[in-house]
Amino acid sequence: MACSSLVKLNASSSQWIGQQSFNQRPGSSSRLATRRVSFVRAGSYSEELVQTAKSIASPGRGILAIDESNATCGKRLDSIGLDNTESNRQAYRQLLLTTPGLGEYISGAILFEETLYQSTTDGKKFVDCLREQNIVPGIKVDKGLVPLPGSNNESWCQGLDGLASRSAEYYKQGARFAKWRTVVSIPCGPSALAVKEAAWGLARYAAISQDNGLVPIVEPEILLDGDHPIERTLEVAEKVWAEVFYYLAENNVTFEGILLKPSMVTPGAEHKEKASPETIAKYTLTMLKRRVPPAVPGVMFLSGGQSEVEATLNLNAMNQSPNPWHVSFSYARALQNTVLKTWQGHPENVEAAQKALLVRAKANSLAQLGSYSGEGESDEAKKGMFVKGYTY
């Protein structure tokens, strides 16, 4: 009943909007119609937003996501026997952000709030380390997932309260783009309520971010959990992205000043048949071509629990022919897994760990250019990282 009521509400709302916007009575004032036209704007930051987005979506480069919360970073550190302390988190992130030559393959780095305000042990701000390599600093701005009342055991993303003032402060600190992650679960439906909530929250966040000088990364992650076929993932992805772009337009978000962070269209992680990179590329590009305007400069895929090699092979397959957008990566675990295991928390392993990061970054750079072969990859890089019900 709740879902059917929502559909009726949407239909009546759309009809009302259409009548008010386009069906003015002869002789009536056109002022209302003028006010209801969707003016695409991003305030005083308009040109800067477009330039920032273009810089991040530059050939052969992608995003390094190191915006794990302190709790999630603690899980990573625990896997190599380290305590979850600020100094250990700082040491690990310093290893990543000071890697020589990283800017050749990485155009942006998403940071957690703690990291945005941190410096190296020598006193250099992390944002300055990034700028020196022509890497744009970014910031995770959402406040995490909480249960969505009235849904089918689904979630919604919190963090809109106070976002404008926080975004202004992040901009002052040097951040130039933002990230907001919400999720959609196929085994849970997804319900119309959850899809609408995800799309609306992303649109409000995007508008607020642009108003404060930050390029918003729009990320409705469709979780890998489930045993559904790839056709079902495509169906849900099309529904979700249609809703997202509807509300982005309603909120006057400038499409040239955003980036997307979608999941690849794959079968559920527990589906009996795995899909080839070519199949994943076909379905994913079909979804993008049906739903994403060419005005959007960059589509930076998340890895979502795929192995390092899987994520790279799938990205490479999507770049075998020209796309209207820069199709690239925004990986966390798929760039960091081998790095972390190489480092093990030992200072003498920092250089080797940084070389491991460059190997993965270069592989994905080649994949963005459609030139990755997959030859010489280690067994470790081929190990899947999917965790059922994974939380960040």
Tell me the catalytic residues: 219, 261
Nearest to 284 by CA among 298, 302, 303, 265: 265
Written as one string, the DSSP assignment of 345-357 is T-GGGHHHHHHHH
What is the rounded CA–CA span in Å between residue 340 and residue 356?
9
Q: For the chain, what is the radius of gyration of the CA atoms?
A: 21
Give the Å distances, CA to CA, from 28 to 14, 23, 32, 42. Answer: 21, 10, 10, 31
The dihedral over CA atoms of 56, 315, 110, 164, expressed in degrees to the nearest 10, equals 70
Written as one string, the DSSP assignment of 136-200 is EEEEE----EEE-TTSSS-EEE---TTHHHHHHHHHHHT--EEEEEEEE-STT---HHHHHHHHH
What is the rounded CA–CA span in Å between residue 326 and residue 227?
31
- Check: CB of residue 222 under 8 Å from CB of residue 236: yes
